Amino acid sequence: MKYRTLGKDLKVSALGLGCMGMTGVYGEATDRASMIKLIHNAFEHGVTFFDTAEAYGPFVNEELVGEALVPLRDKVVIATKFGFDINLKTGQRSGGVNSRPEHIRAVAEAALMRLKTDRIDLFYQHRVDPDVPIEEVADTVKELIWEGKVKHFGLSEASVKTIRKAHAVQPVTAVQSEYSLFWRAPEKELLPALEELGIGFVPFSPLGAGFLTGQITMDTKFPPGDFRNLVPRFSPEARKANLALVSIVKDVAKRKGATSAQVALTWLLAQKPWIAPIPGTTKLSRLEENLGAVDLVLTPSDLQEIDAATARIIVQGDRLPEAVLKMTGL
C-alpha cells in the first residue's frame, strides 16, 4: 500500500474503503460478520482509511465500522458525517438537512458511541444546509476539534464558494464528492480550488457505482432496493450510450494486463497526489482487485490516450436522482 496526505497532516492509505454498501444501498444488507472480516482483510492489505456516516442505515453502518475497528483503532482513520435531519433516538428521517450547531454536537456524541471511540478523525458535513451559515457549521466543528472529539473537518458535495467560506473559519482537511471517468465535473472548478487551498480530495463512487468495472451490461438487472434503479445514468437508454466509455477503459486494461476497475482507479490516483478514492465493495475478491490499482502504472501516454478518447463521449443521464441532486451544494 502507498499513502497520501489530505490537507496539512492527515495521512491515509492511497485507497480507502467506502463502507456504505455493507449495510444495504445496493440491495439487501450483507452478513455482518462477513463485513467485519472484510474490513479486517482491508486493513491487512494496508488500508487505513474507512468511510461511513450516520445516514447509512441510519446508524447501522457506523455501528458495524465501529465494532470492526475497535482492535485497530489507533492504526486507522475513521471518517463519518453529519448533516441530515435524522432523529437520533428513532432513526427516522425527515428527508431534509440539519446542520444547526446543537444538532451537529448531538450527532458527534452519538457517532462516538456507535463507533466505540473517543474521537472522530474526519468529520464531514454530509450535505450543505442552506438554512445555516457555513461559518456557523465550521465554528461548531472547530469547537469539537478544540475539545478533542474531532480531529479534522471535511465537507461533502459542497460548492467552491462554500468551501472557501468554511476554510476561512476552520481549515478544511478534505472534500468528498463524486469523481471518476464517469463524472468529471470536479475538474472545472473544484480541483483547482482545492489545490490552491491545500485541501485533500476524497472521490466517492470512483468506479461509477460499478459501471467502470465493465461488469454491468445492457442485460444487467439490479436487485430490488438497489439505488441504481433510480439513477438516470443507469436507465436502458443512457446505459447503452455510456457503455462506449467502458469500452475505452477495457481496451487500456487489456493492453496493461489489468482489470477495468484497476485502470479507472489508477487514472484517479494519477490526477493529483492529494486524491484518495474510497471504492466500496462487499467481496474480498473485489477488494483485492481494487487495491491492485495502487501498483498499476499508467504512463503519460496512457493517460493522454484515455483523456483523448473519453473527451469524445458525452455521458448520458444525471449522476443522481433529481431529489438527491437538489440536496447538494453544487
Catalytic one of 3, 26, 56, 179: 56
Instruction: Name 164's Cβ contacts closer than 8 Å, sequence gap at least 6.
Output: 193, 197
Q: Which residues, listed in sequence order, are joined to residue 200 by a DSSP beta bridge?
A: 174
The 3-state DSSP class for residue 243 equals helix
- Asked if 3 is an active-site residue, the reply is no
Closest alpha carbon to 211 in 186, 228, 224, 225: 228
* Spatial separation of the C-alpha atoms in residues 125 and 80, rounded to whole Å: 9
Count of residues for the chain?
A: 330
d(CA 288, CA 290): 5
C-alpha 100/C-alpha 87 separation (Å) is 13
Distance of alpha carbon 84 from alpha carbon 118, whole angstroms: 22
Pairing of strands 49-51, 84-86: unpaired
For the beta carbon of residue 149, count every other beta carbon within 10 angstroms: 19
Q: Which residues are catalytic?
A: 56
